[in-house]
């Protein structure tokens, strides 16, 4: 049974600094020569990019609702056999959501370090820590780390407020080095020019305040990766990948490779033509922020139109779907022309339009995924199907034109690799030929 030191970084709420501290911890231990594998609770695209940069290793998602326990179990076992430290960033507050970060910690016996923003509190810090530690019996709670601390005296006051036996992981001072954000969360790692310097500075602050010793080892029962037949062997999948199309689960790329597909990446922003391919995937991202470059790439849109008219598969998710519409209206109210492969348009909103796990039943099979967007879209095209939420409510529309499939849902490919092979391979009725 593989064992590896592991820690789940949680907080009482969002906005406490979980991503920053997790990335700083990863950077700190990586600088010590340790192999650090970071996971992110929940279906997040942006935080894993930061963690992959900090650790120099891919960051996978753990989400019991979207990914399932079996998927999480074998990924953790694989990481334990290949790492000196596993760090897991929680999502929202420690107990928020069903399932929550606490559910993952309890299910896999991973110690929890609670990060608490102490910038505007003193002895109440101890009460919050006590509540997190005692709210659920059986939770493997390891201790707390104080964030945004004003002074050494403030840090000492916080530490003294803790209940006897409560673990103290240290204190981080107030800093202007918080990672920059936009409406969907943090900037993508490639967009932060000084990311390495920021992480090094944060790692230095952690080293000055907290122990750099490894947490206690955790046993991860052996679990084999699911067997995936090479249903896409000999097929090339072209994948848009740049600042406009960056919302890609690493597990999705792994699944395509294990299906036997050859991956060919291209950048619509850079003016790339469509690679020679059998199928195309347009992931989500920020096409509205790069409208002139993408909308002006007329040759690419002509190639994609020819691709679809030839009956070849194209999967477009969220921002990928938006860019297939004829028009996208950005947050300033300016309308931009886009691909025009699907009738309709998208309009950016000031508030979040949809968020949460969704499940999709397609002719190719059942798939799970996630939706998170600030735009609203309308199309005269009748949906092929509608996704459903975890509690059974009607979810996102799924559109289909020939072999083009488009929706707001970011599909988690490991949820049904055979369905993905059917979606991106030869016609699904012929996948067993």
Q: For residues 242 and 431, is the Cβ–Cβ distance under 8 A? A: no
Tokens of 190: 């490639």
Interior/surface letters 198-235, b for 16+ CB within 10 angstroms, e for the rest: bbbebbebbeebbeeeebeebebeebeeeebeebbeeb
Inter-axis angle of helices 417-424 and 250-258, nearest 10: 80
d(C-alpha 340, C-alpha 326), whole Å:
4
Using alpha carbons, select from 18, 24, 37 the residue that is nearest to residue 81. 37
The DSSP line for 122-147 is STHHHHHHHHHHHSSTT--EEEEEEE
Among residues 329, 284, 11, which one has the least CA distance to residue 147? 11
Which residues 6+ apart lie within 8 Å of 205 measured at CB?
Answer: 24, 172, 173, 175
Q: How far apart are CA 216 and CA 4, in angstroms?
A: 8
Number of other CB atoms surrounding residue 355 within 10 Å: 11
Annotated catalytic residue 4: no
The CA-atom distances, in angstroms, between 111 and each of 52, 122, 141 are 22, 25, 6
d(CA 268, CA 194): 25
Rounded CA-CA distance 382/54 in Å is 44
Say which residue the tokens 């920020």 belong to. 286
Omega cis (within 30) before 99? yes
| Partners of 10 in the β-ladder | 114
Question: Both ends of the chain: CA-CA distance in Å?
Answer: 40
Instruction: Please identify which of the residues 4, 41, 277, 318 carries the catalytic annotation.
Output: 318
3-class DSSP state for residue 390?
Answer: coil
Residue 172 tokens read as 């981080």
- Nearest C-alpha neighbor of 212 from the set 3, 59, 7: 7
Residue 42 has which token pair?
Answer: 């929940």
> How far is residue 291's CA from residue 239's CA, in Å, rounded to a whole number?
18
Mapped onto helix, strand or coil, the DSSP state of residue 373 is: strand
In sequence order, which residues have a C-beta less than 8 Å from that of residue 343 and are 6 or more positions away? 325, 326, 379, 380, 381
Residues with a known catalytic role: 318
């Amino acid at each position: 049974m593989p064992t590896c030191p592991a820690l789940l970084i949680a907080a009482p709420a969002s906005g406490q600094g979980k991503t920053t501290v997790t990335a700083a911890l990863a950077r700190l231990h990586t600088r010590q020569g340790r192999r650090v594998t970071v996971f992110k609770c929940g279906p997040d695209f942006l935080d894993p990019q930061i963690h992959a940069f900090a650790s120099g290793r891919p960051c996978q998602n753990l989400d019991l609702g979207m990914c399932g326990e079996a998927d999480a179990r074998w990924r953790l076992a694989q990481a334990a056999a290949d790492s000196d430290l596993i760090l897991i960033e929680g999502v929202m507050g420690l107990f928020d959501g069903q399932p929550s970060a606490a559910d993952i910690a309890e299910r896999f016996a991973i110690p929890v370090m609670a990060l608490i923003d102490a910038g505007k509190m003193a002895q109440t810090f101890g009460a919050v820590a006590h509540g997190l530690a005692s709210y659920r019996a059986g939770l493997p709670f390891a201790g707390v780390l104080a964030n945004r601390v004003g002074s050494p005296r403030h840090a000492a006051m916080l530490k003294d407020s803790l209940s006897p036996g409560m673990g103290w992981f240290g204190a981080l001072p107030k800093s202007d080095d918080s990672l920059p954000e936009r409406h969907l969360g943090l900037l993508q790692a490639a967009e932060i020019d000084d990311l390495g310097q920021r992480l090094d500075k944060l790692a230095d602050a952690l080293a000055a305040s907290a122990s750099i010793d490894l947490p206690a080892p955790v046993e991860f029962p052996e679990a084999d990766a699911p067997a995936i037949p090479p249903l896409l062997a000999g097929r090339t999948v072209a994948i848009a990948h740049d600042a406009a199309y960056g919302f890609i689960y690493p597990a999705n790329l792994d699944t395509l490779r294990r299906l036997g597909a050859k991956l060919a990446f291209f950048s619509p922003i850079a003016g790339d033509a469509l690679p020679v391919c059998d199928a195309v995937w347009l992931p989500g991202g920020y096409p509205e922020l790069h409208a002139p470059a993408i909308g002006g790439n007329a040759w690419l849109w002509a190639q994609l139109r020819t691709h679809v008219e030839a009956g070849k598969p194209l999967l477009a998710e969220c921002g990928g779907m938006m860019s297939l519409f004829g028009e996208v209206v950005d947050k300033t109210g300016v309308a931009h022309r886009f691909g025009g492969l699907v009738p309709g348009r998208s309009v950016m909103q000031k508030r979040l339009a949809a968020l949460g796990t969704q499940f999709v039943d397609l002719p190719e099979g059942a798939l799970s995924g996630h939706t998170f967007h600030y735009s609203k879209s309308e199309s005269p095209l009748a949906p092929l199907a509608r996704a459903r939420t975890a509690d059974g409510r009607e979810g996102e529309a799924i559109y289909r034109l020939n072999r083009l499939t488009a929706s707001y849902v970011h599909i988690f490919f490991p949820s049904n690799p055979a369905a993905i092979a059917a979606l991106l391979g030869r016609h699904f009725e012929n996948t067993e030929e």
